[in-house]
């Protein structure tokens, strides 16, 4: 009876997770999809807890193990409290770091579950022993890579580690050697003899050292792989680590014979892989190029002759920008991570609403990798109640740039860099970008002349039709909004 109820609950939770992913694919249904995911996870946690506590045989076990109830209840309470506090305190601009850190938790859990499963007595030491050991080994391998890679991604997104890629000499050979060692250790691990199968594996049997050595190598592999990836590729890396965490969870599901964990992990793993593919396609690159290419490694390299036009920077002020915006018929706003850091999205929304009231056609242009997390800019604009109808993707808005009088770039750099189309020596050459330079006037809001997160210089700032509005994005936008209101009044 208990097994039937659990299987039915797991089926309902799996359906809710699938519907949640479907809802999250569209901005207008995202809230409903999020609620379905929450309900599905609540069902999964409650049913799993009850299945652990409820008696299987009422005759032999009339009451639950209260010590187990206390341990499980305490763990759930602490986890819920930490999750609630973090979710309430984290800013939207820190969401990429939070996501990376949560991925590391999944990886660490897969490693712990794998080692614990190997130490426990199991029926797998009979006919299915080899298959069970492969499940453990793969789960620990993927979990360790996910854990260490996510920690490094967190450090890069947080600014604790530099965004410039670490490219060691012969790094591809190093990765190949580590992978070869992991495969060799897998053979040792699977074929290791267990002296006392009924008691489970021991800490000092032939299989445990192979498992622990592989875990150490996998941790180093995860660190090395993510350290070699430049800042411009971090949105793709976060999405890829999301996929890794899903496969690690699925592997843990196989180890624990938990169907729901297998289904959930497969959903997360496949959706993360698909999202990574879509983002790489939007950047005109491959997954292998992202993982092995070292994007941004050549930042500051001498550009090809004539690729970066020389010239001085034209500086402007708030009053001049306000006049340009009110005199325009078509305005495009390009939000970037600088806008997110300054938390200026609400003031930017007020500017676009004011312009629309004055009869100006105002839209937002979103690059697929704007910010440091897939969909980061879309979430920020939704938080500010920007209408979905005026938020356009890169492919939609680029053909309309020549008819646009004013483009206002707020805290973005790499996604509007023309060297991606003109400079063959640029590390971002070939990456599709927002073609803002084709507009009549470009206004860039930046703190200074520093390069973007990828460390690549932007020749757009030297164009004749580009004007720089220096200062904190939030302060500049608020002053610009005040100037527009004064002129409108």
Catalytic residues: 414
Rg over CA atoms, the chain:
26
Sequence-distant (≥ 6) Cβ neighbours of residue 414 within 8 angstroms? 232, 428, 433, 452, 453, 454, 456, 458
Long-range contacts of 208-214 (CB under 8 A, 24+ apart): 208/118, 210/185, 210/186, 211/114, 211/115, 211/118, 211/136, 211/137, 211/140, 211/185, 213/185, 214/137, 214/140, 214/141, 214/144, 214/181, 214/182, 214/185, 214/186, 214/189
Instruction: Give the residue carrying structure tokens 């854990």.
Output: 147
Backbone angles phi, psi at 387, to 5 degrees: -65, 135
Cβ atoms of 16 and 40 within 8 Å: the answer is yes
Report whether 289 contacts 430 (CB < 8 A).
no
Task: Tell which residue, 122, 142, 143, has the closest CA to residue 133.
Answer: 122
Q: Do 416 and 458 form a contact (C-beta atoms < 8 A)?
A: yes
Cα separation, 137 vs 147, whole angstroms: 15
Question: Could you identify the residue written with the tokens 């063959």?
Answer: 424
Residue 388 CA to residue 363 CA, distance in Å, equals 10
Give me the phi and psi of 407, to 5 degrees please: -115, 125
Residue that the structure tokens 């190997």 belong to: 118
């Amino acid at each position: 009876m208990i097994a039937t109820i659990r299987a039915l609950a797991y089926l309902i939770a799996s359906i809710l997770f699938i519907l949640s992913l479907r809802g999250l694919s569209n901005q207008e249904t995202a809230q409903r999809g999020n609620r379905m995911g929450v309900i599905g996870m609540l069902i999964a946690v409650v049913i799993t807890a009850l299945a652990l506590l409820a008696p299987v045989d009422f005759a032999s076990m009339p009451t639950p193990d209260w010590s187990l109830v206390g341990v499980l209840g305490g763990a759930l309470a602490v986890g819920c409290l930490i999750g609630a506090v973090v979710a309430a305190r984290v800013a939207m601009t820190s969401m990429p770091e939070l996501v990376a850190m949560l991925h590391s938790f999944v990886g660490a859990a897969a490693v712990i579950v794998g080692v614990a499963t190997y130490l426990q007595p199991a029926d797998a030491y009979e006919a299915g022993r080899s298959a069970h050991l492969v499940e453990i080994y793969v789960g620990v391998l993927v979990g360790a890579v996910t854990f260490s890679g996510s920690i490094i991604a967190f450090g890069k997104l947080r600014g604790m580690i530099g965004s410039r890629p670490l490219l060691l000499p012969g790094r591809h050979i190093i990765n190949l050697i580590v992978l070869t060692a992991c495969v060799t250790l897998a053979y040792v691990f699977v074929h290791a003899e267990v002296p006392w199968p009924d008691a489970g594996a021991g800490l000092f049997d032939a299989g445990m050292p192979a498992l622990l050595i592989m875990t150490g190598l996998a941790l180093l592999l995860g660190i090395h792989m993510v350290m070699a990836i430049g800042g411009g590729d971090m949105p793709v890396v976060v999405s890829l680590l999301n996929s890794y965490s899903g496969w690690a969870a699925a592997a843990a599901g196989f180890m624990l014979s938990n169907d729901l964990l297998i289904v959930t992990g497969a959903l997360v793993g496949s959706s993360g892989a698909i999202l990574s593919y879509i983002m790489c396609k939007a950047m005109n690159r491959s997954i292998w190029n992202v993982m092995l290419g070292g994007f941004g490694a050549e930042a500051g390299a001498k550009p090809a002759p004539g690729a970066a036009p020389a010239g001085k920077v034209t500086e402007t002020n708030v009053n001049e920008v306000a006049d340009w915006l009110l005199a325009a018929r078509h305005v495009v706003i390009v939000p970037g991570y600088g806008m997110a850091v300054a938390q200026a999205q609400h003031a930017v929304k007020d500017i676009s609403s004011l312009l629309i009231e004055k009869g100006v056609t105002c839209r937002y242009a979103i690059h697929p990798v704007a910010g440091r997390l897939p969909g980061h800019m879309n979430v920020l604009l939704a938080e500010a109640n920007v209408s979905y109808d005026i938020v356009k993707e890169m492919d939609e808005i680029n053909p309309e740039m020549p008819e646009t009088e004013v483009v206002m770039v707020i805290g973005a750099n790499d996604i509007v860099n023309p060297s991606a189309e003109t400079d063959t020596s640029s590390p971002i050459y070939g990456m599709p970008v927002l073609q803002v330079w084709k507009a009549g006037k470009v206004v860039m809001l930046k703190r200074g002349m520093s390069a973007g997160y990828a460390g690549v210089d932007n020749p757009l700032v030297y164009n004749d039709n580009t004007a720089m509005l220096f200062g904190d994005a939030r302060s500049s936008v608020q002053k610009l909004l005040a100037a527009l209101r004064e002129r409108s009044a």
